[in-house]
A and B are shown apart, each in its own frame.
Chain A
Amino acid sequence: MDIRLIQGVAYLGLIIFLTFVLYGYIMHLYRSEKKGKRNYEKYGKMALDDELTSPPVEPLEEHTKESR
């Protein structure tokens, strides 16, 4: 088979695959929110409420001073 044809088919295949990946990612983001697995929008608060004394949006439980 002509190398150009293989390149063309592979290129088209890659584009279709990547389009699926992109839309898959969008669906993943919305679906995880709908199912209540994750609320992405709450992460926006990280910039607003960023004092050292304010509670983390999602605390890192195992974080202790000794571990440093």
Chain B
Amino acid sequence: MQNPAIEYDYTVAKWFSYLAILFGIIGMGIGVWIAFELAFPELNYVAGQYTLFSRLRPIHTNTVAFGFTLSGIFATWYYVGQRVLKVSMAESKFLMAVGKLHFWLYFIGALLAVGSLLLRYTTSKEYAQFEWPFDIVVVLIWVLWGISIFGLIGIRREKTLYISMWYYIATFLGVAMLYLFNNMEVPTYLITGMGDPFHSVSMYAGTNDAMVQWWYGHNAVAFVFTVPIIAMIYYYLPKESGQPVYSYKLSLLSFWGLMFVYLWAGGHHLIYSTVPDWMQTMGSVFSVILILPSWGSALNMLLTMKGEWGQLKENPLIKFMVLASTFYMLSTLEGPIQSIKSVNALAHFTDWIPGHVHDGTLGWVGFMIIAAIMHMAPRFYKREIYSKKLLEMQFWLQTTGIVLYFSSMWIAGITQGMMWRAVDQYGNLAYSFIDTVTVLHPYYTLRAIGGLFYFTGLFMWAYNFYKTMTASKAIEKEPQFASPMAA
């Protein structure tokens, strides 16, 4: 048997939690700023070229996806991985060193990559903007994570891998495959000896490039915003509520369903474009089928709370997680609807699309990471959560923010789509582009205010976490289920 003196080592999990909070604030702060820029365009010119929407938007998306979310994923992996495999990182000096190296390379790499975007080094491929030297750093970071995952599995005590482990492994393999193929690029300086050493061109051309890009782009949503977040909820919701997963068999079935179906759905980003028609149809069909495995996981989570709904009233962390799975259901129904060709004709390129994305990212991804980190905080520091009231206030403020965000974008997007399509009796367009902008102004303002609510909630989260770490009441032993919190 194991040495009882050994404890789980949360060093790396703590470090990544700090980064998740830091990158959350930076990434979403920029998001709020550019939302206000859309409503009040003069804000574009506050600091010359550096505050232009086009310069800041990729920094927002990359910082929230690959800064905030990935830090949350790594933080939870270094926590959940040890616990469900029943092995401590302290038992292997090698894995501890790999974990720490993983953190530092990621932190420094992320800062440099964000800096490169600010200095306008970009491949111009959405969510794959980093230029080739940074892509190499990303690959190294990913390899280190892989060593950590499979290394820990190699020294485990628990024979069977818990369902969360399957999802973390899928995240690792999925992103590795997608990132490598979509970032195949030729550094122009190395070939021609001319131009900027950072510059590169894609190895694919034209329509092929678009197809690879959206195979990557949509599956970045799959393997960064969905799969690892399911890994989290399958651990944290049962653990916090003290209820085992409603149906373990359903979790397995949903896993394979999701793995098979997701990879085919990216074509819906290219409906009514130059890619083959059958591919567009396939993208739509697979997107609709995707409802089944997505709802399989989400319902499994909600049913885990069966007979225990009283906890929803008592425990704000349960609130965050139940609403996260509800938003997961909402966005995995909304996405397939938008991918149906006739709906897409109205929705494509409108504000309904960022509205959809933010249901998922703010409601599902953000809430789950916030809850996971607050669940870990009392275990990290052997102290109770500093303030339940603050956590409750954060929940309601951020929920209101999300509702403002998606409702304003629904109205704005559908209005915009209808106005673009409107024609008079002779078939002439009824509106010019600026007509739509004028009509949409109030909704853009509402969206920015919604974002500001969510952003304010992040500071409440950071403060609560910091106070939990430094000033909260000490607890004697690690809580088994519900996290202790002071009123």
Contacts and interface: CB of A to CB of B under 8 A. Distances in A.
Contacts of B247: 41
B238 interface: yes
A50 B6 contact: no
The B contact surface, by secondary structure, is loop
Interface string B374-387: 00000000000000
B275 to A, nearest CB: 16
A43 interface: yes
A60 B159 contact: yes
B242 interface: yes
B466 interface: no
Interface string A25-49: 1100110010000001101111110
Contacts of A59: 157-159
A26 B253 contact: yes
Contact of A43 (B87, B91, B160, B239): B160
A47 B253 contact: no
A36 B92 CA distance: 37
B125 interface: no
Interface string B153-168: 0011111101110000
Nearest to B90: A52
Contacts of B244: 41, 44-45, 47-48
B155 A68 contact: yes
A9 to B, nearest CB: 15
A57 B242 contact: no
Contacts of A45: 244
Given A46-B158, A68-B91, A52 B2 contact: yes
A48 B249 CA distance: 17
Interface residues of B, number: 39
Choose among B6, B160, B235, B260 the residue with the greatest number of A CB atoms under 10 Å from its CB. Answer: B160
A28 B121 CA distance: 52
A29 B235 CA distance: 21
Nearest to B8: A52
Nearest to B162: A46
A68 B478 CA distance: 27
B349 interface: no
B159 A48 contact: no
Contacts of A22: 257
A68 B2 contact: no
Contacts of A13: none
Given A43-B163, A58-B158, A60-B156, A68 B238 contact: no
Contacts of A68: 91-92, 155
Nearest to B156: A60
B86 interface: yes
B181 interface: no
B252 interface: yes
Contact of A47 (B3, B6, B160, B235): B235
A29 B247 CA distance: 12
Given A29-B249, A29-B252, A40-B248, A56 B157 contact: yes
Nearest to A54: B86
A50 to B, nearest CB: 4
A48 B6 contact: no
Interface string B1-17: 01110111000000000
Given A40-B249, A41-B248, A52 B256 contact: no
Given A41-B244, A47-B234, A52-B86, 14 more contacts: A25-B256, A43-B163, A46-B158, A47-B162, A47-B245, A48-B242, A50-B83, A50-B86, A52-B88, A54-B86, A56-B159, A58-B158, A59-B158, A60-B157
28 contacts: A26-B253, A29-B252, A33-B249, A40-B249, A40-B252, A41-B248, A41-B249, A43-B160, A44-B238, A44-B245, A46-B84, A46-B160, A46-B162, A47-B245, A48-B242, A48-B244, A51-B478, A52-B4, A52-B87, A52-B88, A54-B86, A58-B158, A58-B159, A60-B157, A60-B158, A60-B159, A63-B155, A68-B155
Rank and list the top 4 A-B pairs by shortest CB-CB distance, nearest first.
Answer: A44-B244, A50-B83, A58-B159, A46-B162
